[in-house]
Amino acid sequence: MNKFIPGKLNSILNHRPLVVGTLTGRLNLKKQLRAAAKAGVDLVEVRLDTFSNKEDIFSIRKIVRHPLLLTLRSPKEGGEAQFFKAFPKMEREKLLQMMANQADFLDVEIKAADASRLTRFGHSQKMAVIHSFHDFKKMPSPSILNALAKKSARLKGDFFKIAVKARDPHEFKRFLNWSLSCPHPKPVLIAMGEEGLASRTLGYCFGSTMTFGHLGKAAAPGQFPAGQLAKIIRNIFRQHSFR
């Protein structure tokens, strides 16, 4: 059992993937949180880069009863450039530090220069660290995926999230074949776009530990509404374990 992952969520992973509801600052917060409660998601991802008001961010923990995942996605990997223009680097780091004692998971981009430092910071705050990599345009080669997964394992990431674009059925099949030998014990496997939709519902059969749905507006190509996704996942894995 991983000491950084809440016990209840660790237990769920024995039977099905964790369902994550992505909350953004683009839409009404209370409406999104009502959607999260109704959907029955396992944790709520707060996309910090989509917020423009710090007070809104600090109010989230007061009204959320789910475990929280903090994500500050960089513009290079699909984050909101406006947030980075509005908040200097030191202010962004201060924001993460202030939110750390309210969160259970921290997303750290594995290719970031400070990935190692942020991983240590997350663990020092008793957060599980999700190392992530996103490519919205293409499917990297298996050798590149292996290198990123091994780096995550070396830095002691608790999860390794890979979200890449599947442009045709062949690429999707190659992605699934690679996932069977992924050198990280807890991968999160997402093939974005129409060709990879099945990865969001059946990825657990190939080792994926999480799946992401939106709470009002898709944050990535092919993302399901969280309520629909949670229902599908529970129906598929209610009586059967494929791992």
DSSP codes, the chain: --TTS-HHHHHHTTTSPEEEEEE-TTS-HHHHHHHHHHHT-SEEEEEGGG-S-HHHHHHHHHH--S-EEEE---GGGT--HHHHHHS-HHHHHHHHHHHHTT-SEEEEETTSTTHHHHHHHHHHTTPEEEEEEEESS----HHHHHHHHHHHHHTT-SEEEEEEE--SHHHHHHHHHHHTT-SSSSEEEEEESGGGTHHHHHGGGGT--EEEEESSS-SSTTPEEHHHHHHHHHHHHSS----
What CATH number corresponds to the domain at position 52?
3.20.20.70
Residues 6+ apart with CB under 8 A from 93: none
Kindly provide the b/e burial profile for residues 150-185, where b requires at least 16 CB atoms within 10 angstroms of the residue's own CB. ebbbebebbbbbbbbbbbeeebbebbbebbeebbbe
Domain count, the chain: 1
Q: Is the pTM of this model over 0.95?
A: no
In a domain? residue 181: yes
pLDDT of 21 reads: 95
Q: Structural domain of residue 26, as residue ranges?
A: 7-237
Rounded Cα–Cα distance for residues 84 and 91 (Å) = 10
Q: Which of 187, 188, 197, 189 is nearest to 223 (CA)?
A: 197
Length of the chain: 243
| Six token digits for residue 154 | 């070396």
42 against 1, higher pLDDT: 42
In a domain? residue 161: yes
- Band of pLDDT at residue 94, cut at 50, 70 and 90: confident
In a domain? residue 216: yes
pLDDT of 65 reads: 80
Cβ proximity of 159 and 186 under 8 Å: yes
Residues 6+ apart with CB under 8 A from 109: 73, 74, 77, 115, 131, 132, 133
pLDDT of 101 reads: 83
% of residues, the chain, pLDDT over 90: 68
In this predicted structure, the answer to whether residue 243 has a pLDDT above a threshold of 50 is: no
In this predicted structure, the answer to whether residue 179 has a pLDDT above a threshold of 50 is: yes
pLDDT of 106 reads: 97
Q: Which of 172, 189, 205, 229 is nearest to 38 (CA)?
A: 229
In this predicted structure, the answer to whether residue 206 has a pLDDT above a threshold of 70 is: yes
Least trusted range by pLDDT, from 3-17, 106-120, 129-143, 170-184: 3-17
In a domain? residue 1: no
Residues 6+ apart with CB under 8 A from 50: 24, 25, 26, 80, 83
In a domain? residue 243: no
